[in-house]
Structure 1
Amino acid sequence: METPKPNRIALAALLVTAVSSGLLLSTPARSDSESSTRTPIKHIVVIFQENVSFDHYFGTYPHAKPNTDGTRYFGNPKEDTPRPNTLLSAGLLTNNPNGQNPFRIDRSVPVTCDQDHGYSDEQFAFHGGLMDRFLTHSCNDAILGPNSTLGYYDGNTVTALWNYAQHYAMSDNSFGTSFGPSTPGLLNLVAGTTYMGTITNNILTSGNIANGGTSGAVIGDPDPAGDKCSDPKRTQITMSGENIGDRLNSAGLTWGAFMGGFDNCAATHNNVAGASVVDYIPHHAFFQYWKSTQNAQHLPPSSDAAIGKLDQANHQYDLHRFYTAIAHHNLPAVSFLKARAFQDGHAGYSDPLDEQMFVVDVINALMHSPEWRETAVIVAYDDSDGWYDHVMGPIVFQSNVLDDQLLPPGNCGQPKANDPASGTQNGRCGYGPRLPLLLISPWARTNYIDHQVTDQSSIIRFVEHNWNLQPIGGGSADAVAGSLNGFFDFDHGPRAGRLILDDRTGQIASFDQ
C-alpha cells in the first residue's frame, strides 16, 4: 500500500518558501566555535538506524541477484570496487558453521520477524568467536522459516545503501561498542558507555541492568525516566555522567537530536505491509536518559531560529524540525536523527524499503542545500537484531557478570578498570556485533571500504576531534575508539557532484559529477 510521506511534502513546501525568500542563496554567519574546525566539515548528520548486521545488508556486496519477479534495481558494480569481508568473499554461503547455509531474502519479503538480540543471547550465538550458534535464537519467521536469522538482503532490496557505498565510503570492520539491544547502542553512540544507569521506578524487570542490579551497566531496553512518553509499566532509568551533547554545550556549539513522533508520541504510520506503528519509541530517544539533555515534556523550540540552540527544547526535537532547519538555512553543527519507527529498519515493525525512503529523503534534502559542501552524513546502526554476521571483533571491554555468555557462562574475559577515575565498569562486554557504517559527503573517498576497526563511539570521537572537544571520560569508549579520518579525502575534495536517488527504488535519479 502507499506509505504516507508527510516529511517529503513538508520539505518541498519549506524549500519553495526558503528559495522564494532568498534563504538558500547565501551562507549564514557562524559563531567562531562552529567555524573553528580541524577539517572542512562544519555539519555532521548522524542517521542512526535500527537492528541490522553488516552481513544482513552487505553479505554479497557488490554482487546482487535479480528478484524473483525478474527486477533489478542495482546495476553492475564499479570495476574498481574494493573487496569487502563478506559472506561471499569468505566462502560462507555454503558449508556454513551454523549447520545451515545463509540465504537471500527477496525484495518481495521486506517485513520479517524480530530476531533474538539480547545481551546474553548475542554472546551465546558468537560462541567465543566460532560464530556457529545463530540458529538457537532464530525467530522462526512465518515466510523465511526456522533458519530466518541466517537471511540476508542484497542490492536489489537495499539498493540505496549499495549505491551510496559505490559512490562514497563505508566500513566492513565496524562494531557495536557492546553487545545488546537498542538502548545500549544509542548510549554508546552519544556517550561511549552504558554505565552508570539507575532504575528509578522500582520496576525491576530482569535484563535491564547487568547482574540484575538496580544500578550499573545497561544491557536491556528500559525507558528514560522523566520522559512524559515513557511507559509507566516498563523499567525506567536515568544515566549519570556526561554525553556528547554536554560537551557540545560547553563549547557553545549548535546541535540537536531529531526524533520521529517527538511532538506527538501517540502518532502512528503504516509500514509497507500496512501495519500501524507508533512513531516514537522512548527507549530509542538518545539524550532523554540524562537530566542535563532531557526535554521531559517534549516542548517545542521557542522559534525556528532557535533550533540547535539552548532553549526550552533543550536540543530535543521532532524530526520535522530537521527539515525546517535545512529550509531555513539553520542546520546545527551536529545532528542526530531517529526515524519514525516504521522507517527505522527494525525487523518486526519496519523494513528495508520503508527505511530506504527515510534515508534517501534526508540525504537528498541535504544534497540540495548549500550546506552540503561542508556536510558529512554518517549512516550507522544501534545493534544487529541477532542477524547472522560471520566476523567477531576484538573484546576491548571485558566483563564477568552473570549475563555474560561469550565464553563459559558468566564470562566475557576478566574485567579491568576502564578509567582511573571511575574504576571497574562491569557488564559492558564488547565490542559486539559487526554493523554497517557508511559515510556520505563531498569529502568522502570514492567507492572506498575502510578496514580499520571502529565502533559506535568512533562517531563521537570524530565530533570531538573536529571541534577540539575534550573526550567524555568516565570510562567512555571514545578514548580508545578507532578513527573515522580514513573515510575522508581532505586533500582532493570537495567533489561538486550530488548523487540524488529515487526513494522508492534506491536507484540513481541524477548524478552531476
Structure 2
Amino acid sequence: MPASIKHVFVLMLENRSFDHMLGYLPGVDGVKTGMSNPDPSASPLPPVQASNGATDRPASDPGHEFENVWQQLYSTPPPDGFTGDSSAVPTMQGFVASGGPETMACFTQAGVPVLTQLAQLFTVFDNWHSSMPGPTWPNRFFVHAGSSGGLTNSPSALTSLAGVTLAEAAFSFENGSIYDRLDDKGLSWRVFHGDALPQVLAVKRHVMPFIDNSANFASISPDSSDDAFAAQLQSGQYDVAYTFIEPDYSILTNMYGGNSQHPKGNISSGEALIKYVYETIRNSPVWVESLLLITYDEHGGFFDHVIPPTCDAPGDADLNSGHASDPYPFDFRRYGVRVPAVLVSPWVDAGLNHDLFDHTSVLKTLEMLFQLNALTDRDAGAASLLPLLTRTDPRVSDMQAPTKLNAPALQAMAAASVPIDPDAAPDPALAGFTRIAASLDIGLTHSQAPQAAPLVLEQIRLPETSVKTTKQSLDYIQGVLDRLNQHRASIARH
C-alpha cells in the first residue's frame, strides 16, 4: 500500500438508507432495480414502488426500532414466541406497512448535491450495511465496540432516577472498545461532538474524562469563527490517530433541528456539515495523510431493496439487553439495512465499490493500520478499507480533490419549528440521552461531594428525580448540562 495514513476520520450521521439517499446515482445498485420482490424464490408479492419525491424534511419520522425493522425486512412484526433467529431470507416488502408511503421517497442527485459530489469524486459503496437490523444506539455501539453487547432496541427511559447507579445507566462491553485498544497502544483519539452530549458517552469509561474536560473530547461548530475542529486541524500539530465526529442531534429540542440528518431535522443542514468536515480536512496539513469515511448509523425506516446478508455474531457477552426499552432476542447473524458510505482520501480513485462492508469495517481498518487486536468475532472477520487506497500519488490539486464543494440544496437551511408535547413520554432517542445525563449526574456527584470520595463510583446513587415526560427529561438534561458547565468553570479557575 503506497499511502501513508496517519489520521482516520469517521463522520457518522443519522437514520438514512442507501436507496433513500443515493439510489438514483448512476451505476449503483439502486432503486431502479428495486421495484419488485428481490428474492426470486419467495412467494409472489405486490411490487414495492420507490419514488424520487424525498423532501428536505419529511412529514414523519418512520419507525426504526427492532420490531419496525423486522417488519420492514420480513413483512410482519416479530411473532409471539420470537426467538431472534434471522436465518429466513427477508422479502424487503414491509416498509410501507411499517412506516407509510413516505418511506419509499428517495432523493435525486439534486436533493443531496454534497454527498453526491463526494460519491462521484471518491469511492462510494453500494453494499455497506448497518451492523444489525435495529435503531441508532446498537448500531453506533458496533462502530465503537464491534458489538452492541446484546442490545437490540433503543434504551429504556429512566422514569425515576432514585437508586440509579452508573453501572445501571451506562453500557458495558466484555472486550472494551476501540478507544481502549488505542489507549493500550499509546495512540491518540478524539471525539468531536456537535451536541453537548455525544452518544459515545453511553460507553461507561468515557463519563469521568468528559466531565473533567479531557482532550479526548472537543466540540465541532461549523458556524463558529473559533471552531475547535478547524483550529486543531489547521494548527499543523494535529497528531490524532482516530477522530470520530458526531453531529448536532439537537437533543434539547427533542431532535427537531440540528445537522445529524435525523428525519426530525433537515437533510440540507447535514449536507452543510458534510461539506464543512470535508473542506476542513482537505484544506489542512493532514489531508495528504488522511482517510475520511462518511456514513450513517442505520436506515431510519427508509426503503432499501437489498436483502441484508448473513454475518458472524460478535460472540461476546450479553451485558446490555436489559437496558432496552423493549428487549428482543436476536442472534446477530444478519446485517441491518444498507446505508450510504463514501470513502474520501487523497489515496483513493473515483469509483463504485460493491464489496460487503458494515460499521465494524471501521474497526478492522484501525486494527490493520495500527496493529491492534480485534474486539469481537464480527470485526475480526470484517473487510478493511486499506486495500482501497491504491493510488501511487496523492490527490493534491484542486482538480483532483476540490478545496470547495457544491453548496447544499437551496431548500436548505429552513429551521424546523415543531411544537413539543411536554406531557408526552420521552421518545427512544431522548430516553437514551437521559441515561447519558444520569451518568454525568452520578459522575459529577463523585467529583464534587467530598463524602463520595471513598466510594466506588458505581455505588453512588442519584436522588429522586422524575423524568416521566418529555419536558421533565429535557429539563433534567438541561440541569445536568448547567451543572457540568459550572464544574468545568470551577476547574478552569483552579
Aligned-partner residue type, residue 249 of structure 1: D
Q: For residues 193 and 224 of structure 1, what CA distance do their matches in structure 2 show? A: 22
1:155-174 correspondence to structure 2 within 5 Å: 155-174=109-128
2:15/2:261 contact within 8 Å kept: yes
Aligned-partner residue type, residue 167 of structure 1: L
Quick one: structure 1 residues 112 and 442, their matched pair in 2 at CA, closer, same or farther if it must change by over 3 Å?
farther
1:51-70 correspondence to structure 2 within 5 Å: 51-62=15-26
Quick one: structure 1 residues 53 and 222, their matched pair in 2 at CA, closer, same or farther if it must change by over 3 Å?
same
Task: Confirm or deny that 1:250 pairs with 2:184.
Answer: yes
- What is the aligned partner in structure 2 of residue 239 from structure 1? 172
CA drift at 1:485: 3.0
2:31/2:305 contact within 8 Å kept: yes
Task: Confirm or deny that 1:464 pairs with 2:367.
Answer: yes
Aligned-partner residue type, residue 293 of structure 1: H
1:51/1:385 contact within 8 Å kept: yes
CA drift at 1:42: 1.0
CA drift at 1:464: 1.0
The residue matched to 1:180 in structure 2 has which SS? coil
Match of 1:285 among 199, 220, 225: 199
**Which of the pair is proportionally richer in helix?**
2
Match of 2:92 among 106, 109, 131: 131
CA RMSD of the aligned region, Å? 3.2
- What is the aligned partner in structure 2 of residue 322 from structure 1? 229
1:454/1:481 contact within 8 Å kept: yes
2:113/2:406 contact within 8 Å kept: no
Quick one: structure 1 residues 445 and 175, their matched pair in 2 at CA, closer, same or farther if it must change by over 3 Å?
same
- What is the aligned partner in structure 2 of residue 347 from structure 1? 263
1:46/1:378 contact within 8 Å kept: yes
- What is the aligned partner in structure 2 of residue 118 from structure 1? 65
CA drift at 1:253: 1.1
- What is the aligned partner in structure 1 of residue 50 from structure 2? 102
- What is the aligned partner in structure 2 of residue 403 from structure 1? none
CA drift at 1:295: 4.0
Name whichever of 46-55 and 479-488 sits farther off. Answer: 479-488
TM-score by length of 2: 0.66
Aligned-partner residue type, residue 139 of structure 2: G
Quick one: structure 1 residues 344 and 295, their matched pair in 2 at CA, closer, same or farther if it must change by over 3 Å?
farther
The residue matched to 2:286 in structure 1 has which SS? helix
Q: For residues 59 and 279 of structure 2, what CA distance do their matches in structure 1 show? A: 28
The residue matched to 1:388 in structure 2 has which SS? coil
Match of 1:360 among 261, 275, 280: 275
1:364-383 correspondence to structure 2 within 5 Å: 364-383=279-298
CA drift at 1:41: 1.0
Match of 1:85 among 9, 26, 29: 29
Task: Confirm or deny that 1:177 pairs with 2:131.
Answer: yes
Q: For residues 253 and 358 of structure 1, what CA distance do their matches in structure 2 show? A: 27
Name whichever of 120-129 and 50-59 sits farther off. Answer: 120-129
CA drift at 1:492: 4.3
Task: Confirm or deny that 1:491 pairs with 2:392.
Answer: yes
2:35/2:50 contact within 8 Å kept: no
The residue matched to 2:111 in structure 1 has which SS? coil
2:71/2:98 contact within 8 Å kept: no
Q: For residues 224 and 365 of structure 1, what CA distance do their matches in structure 2 show? A: 37
Q: For residues 256 and 41 of structure 1, what CA distance do their matches in structure 2 show? A: 17
The residue matched to 1:110 in structure 2 has which SS? coil
Q: For residues 318 and 155 of structure 2, what CA distance do their matches in structure 1 show? A: 27
Q: For residues 98 and 237 of structure 1, what CA distance do their matches in structure 2 show? A: 44
Q: For residues 42 and 224 of structure 1, what CA distance do their matches in structure 2 show? A: 40
- What is the aligned partner in structure 2 of residue 46 from structure 1? 10
Quick one: structure 1 residues 150 and 256, their matched pair in 2 at CA, closer, same or farther if it must change by over 3 Å?
same
1:376/1:439 contact within 8 Å kept: yes
Match of 1:219 among 152, 158, 175: 152
Q: For residues 199 and 109 of structure 2, what CA distance do their matches in structure 1 show? A: 30
1:442/1:496 contact within 8 Å kept: no
- CA displacement, residues 49-78 of structure 1 (integer Å, 9 cap, x when unaligned): 00010000111113xxxxxxxxxxxxxxxx
TM-score by length of 1: 0.64
Structure 2 unaligned residues grouped into runs of 5+: 39-43, 75-88, 221-226, 250-257, 320-328, 411-494
The residue matched to 1:389 in structure 2 has which SS? coil
- CA displacement, residues 221-271 of structure 1 (integer Å, 9 cap, x when unaligned): 22899xx9xx99xx8332133111111111111111111133xxxxxxxxx
CA drift at 1:440: 1.0
1:223/1:237 contact within 8 Å kept: no
Q: Of the two structures, which has the highest relative contact order with CA contacts closer than 8 Å and spacing of 6 or more?
A: 2
Q: For residues 460 and 174 of structure 1, what CA distance do their matches in structure 2 show? A: 14
Aligned-partner residue type, residue 234 of structure 2: A
Aligned-partner residue type, residue 336 of structure 1: F
- CA displacement, residues 402-449 of structure 1 (integer Å, 9 cap, x when unaligned): xxxxxxxxxxxxxxx836999xx9553531111111011111121x11
Q: For residues 339 and 251 of structure 1, what CA distance do their matches in structure 2 show? A: 28
1:454/1:482 contact within 8 Å kept: yes
1:294/1:314 contact within 8 Å kept: no
- What is the aligned partner in structure 1 of residue 413 from structure 2? none
Task: Confirm or deny that 1:191 pairs with 2:148.
Answer: no
Structure 1 unaligned residues grouped into runs of 5+: 1-36, 63-82, 139-145, 196-216, 263-279, 301-312, 399-416, 507-513
Quick one: structure 1 residues 456 and 98, their matched pair in 2 at CA, closer, same or farther if it must change by over 3 Å?
farther
Q: For residues 327 and 85 of structure 1, what CA distance do their matches in structure 2 show? A: 38
1:177/1:188 contact within 8 Å kept: yes
Aligned-partner residue type, residue 44 of structure 1: V
Aligned-partner residue type, residue 308 of structure 2: G
2:233/2:285 contact within 8 Å kept: no
- State the identity as a percent: 21
Q: For residues 38 and 421 of structure 1, what CA distance do their matches in structure 2 show? A: 41
Q: For residues 384 and 261 of structure 2, what CA distance do their matches in structure 1 show? A: 26
The residue matched to 1:376 in structure 2 has which SS? strand
The residue matched to 1:346 in structure 2 has which SS? coil
The residue matched to 1:129 in structure 2 has which SS? coil
Q: For residues 131 and 230 of structure 2, what CA distance do their matches in structure 1 show? A: 30
**Which of the pair is proportionally richer in strand?**
1
Aligned-partner residue type, residue 382 of structure 1: D
CA drift at 1:137: 1.2
Q: For residues 332 and 123 of structure 2, what CA distance do their matches in structure 1 show? A: 29
The residue matched to 1:325 in structure 2 has which SS? helix
CA drift at 1:92: 5.1
Match of 1:261 among 173, 195, 205: 195
Quick one: structure 1 residues 421 and 189, their matched pair in 2 at CA, closer, same or farther if it must change by over 3 Å?
closer
